[in-house]
């Protein structure tokens, strides 16, 4: 697969997958469904559906397996996640995800996180140090226009171009917006207002 920067330079269409968790029960260990939406630019092209546990630590391996075992793996250029955790504090090891998938991985946030509050919450876990270390591995938080993101596997400038190409309007790429809405609809019977 050609490097992402080269694909952008050649004005090729970039195919992304966006992973987001669906609504879930608050009890630790409860099942959390994950939707993965494949889009080229902003056009829906496919969907994956998986599961992790609330506050577990298997998100990285689950997302990797979900994509690698799918028909979309060879087609996807970039992986997007809604933040660096799913199902509460099931933290994604962003560098490991990028290395395993051999694809750039971008964790997108609606606003800069409250790192102090997150650290305080993580102290409730017996494996606090592991979770904190995993969280910090995601790297520096970058800002480009309305996007706040962390990236592994490509330069931040390249990631910013991908986010712009994958977004119809606002500051949420279409793959993540659809992952959020479809996950909510499957679990609750209707999509939510906000992605």
pLDDT for 152-179, tens place per residue?
999 999 999 999 999 998 889 999 999 9
195 has pLDDT over 70: no
The reported pLDDT for the residue numbered 191 is: 81
What's the pLDDT band for 104 if we cut at 50, 70, 90? very high
H or E element that contains 138: none
Given the structure tokens 């591995």, which residue do they identify? Answer: 137
Task: Specify the CATH number of the domain 14-185.
Answer: 3.30.2170.10
Mean pLDDT, residues 16-24? 97
Question: Rounded to whole angstroms, how far apart are CA atoms 73 and 50?
Answer: 15
The total number of residues shown for the chain amounts to 195
Please state, as a whole number, how many other Cβ atoms lie within 10 Å of the Cβ of residue 160: 18
- pLDDT at position 188, please? 87
Question: Where is pLDDT greater, at 1 or 8?
Answer: 8
Task: Say whether pTM exceeds 0.85.
Answer: yes
* Residue 116 confidence (pLDDT) above 90: yes
């Amino acid at each position: 697969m050609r490097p992402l920067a080269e694909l952008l330079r050649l004005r090729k269409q970039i195919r992304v997958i966006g992973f987001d968790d669906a609504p879930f029960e608050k009890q630790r260990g409860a099942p959390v469904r994950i939707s993965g939406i494949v889009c080229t630019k902003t056009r829906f092209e496919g969907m994956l559906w998986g599961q992790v546990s609330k506050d577990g630590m298997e998100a990285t391996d689950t997302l990797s397996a979900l994509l690698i075992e799918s028909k979309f793996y060879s087609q996807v250029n970039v992986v997007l996640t809604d933040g660096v955790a799913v199902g509460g504090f099931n933290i994604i090891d962003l560098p490991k995800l990028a290395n395993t998938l051999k694809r750039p991985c971008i964790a997108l946030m609606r606003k800069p996180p409250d790192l102090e509050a997150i650290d305080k919450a993580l102290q409730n876990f017996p494996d606090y140090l592991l979770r904190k270390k995993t969280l910090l591995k995601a790297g520096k938080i970058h800002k480009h226009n309305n996007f706040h993101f962390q990236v592994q596997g490509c330069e931040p400038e390249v990631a910013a171009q991908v986010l712009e190409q994958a977004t119809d309007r606002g500051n949420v790429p279409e793959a993540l917006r659809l992952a959020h809405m479809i996950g909510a609809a499957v679990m609750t019977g209707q999509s939510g207002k906000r992605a």
